[in-house]
Every structure is written in structure tokens, then in C-alpha cells.
Amino acid sequence: MTNEQAHALGQLLRDARKARDLSIARMAERLAMDESWIVRLETGRYTTPNPALVTRIVEHLGIDPASVDLVSGGLLRSSLPSVKTYFRSREALPPEALRDIEGALDEIRAKYGAPEQPRGEPEGTPGGRP
């Protein structure tokens, strides 16, 4: 993320927090986060902020993740695993169920004009876990 993008992200987060009449101290308390980290994030001092921490703030403030990606050059999107990887590592499902999920996602992508993602067979034991 560039310095300009870091400042734009900080502005987006600060505006959303202020719109909810929430102080940095109160938000830090609610999220069990370091107040000074939030200040540095909002002032654009981080060009590589921890995406998991940014996600916690984004969810707490009800910000559309697409808005965050737009101003940050894809901070959240680039830090996430593919849906296929997510389901294979997160869910203890048999390979047939994973193929069904991938097929359903392909249908949704086709319906909305999104590119189809490459597919492979689950590795390891059922659920794609080694």
C-alpha cells in the first residue's frame, strides 16, 4: 500500500468511527486493541497494517470491505485465501461436498459475470486437510 493509500484508509476509518460518535479509546476498549495502533492507522502511518486487525475495525464500524479495498489497493482482498482454500482448510467436509460448494460458486460467478476460478481435487484426507 502506498503512503497515499494508507492516508486514504485512515481517513475512511476515522470518518466511519466519528460518524458513529465513537472515540478511539472506546473503540480500542471494545475491540481489545492498542489505542496507539489505531491512532497510527487512522493517521496513515502504516503502509502494511495487519489485515486481520483492520478487518476487526471494519466489521465493528460496519464499513463495506470493498470500500477498504478501493482506497487501500486491495489490502483485505489480497490477504484472504481463495474460497476454495478457505473451505478446504476450515470445514471438515468430504471431497464431494467441497466439489458441490465449488460448483455452486462457479454458478454464482457465471450468473454475475465474475471469472471462474481454477479448481483442483482436495488434497489429503476428507475435508482437504493433510
**pTM for the full predicted model:** 0.67
> 3-79 maps to which CATH number?
1.10.260.40
**Range of lowest pLDDT (10-24, 31-45, 102-116):** 102-116
Residue 9 has pLDDT above 50, yes or no: yes
Residue 129 has pLDDT above 80, yes or no: no
Distances (CA, A) of 88 to 46, 78, 99, 106: 32, 18, 10, 16
The three-point CA angle 59-28-60 to 5° equals 10
Cell triple for 110: 457465471
Bridge partners of residue 125, in order along the sequence: 129
Bridge partners of residue 129, in order along the sequence: 125
In the chain, CATH 1.10.260.40 sits at: 3-79
Give the Cβ contact number of residue 119 at 10 Å: 12
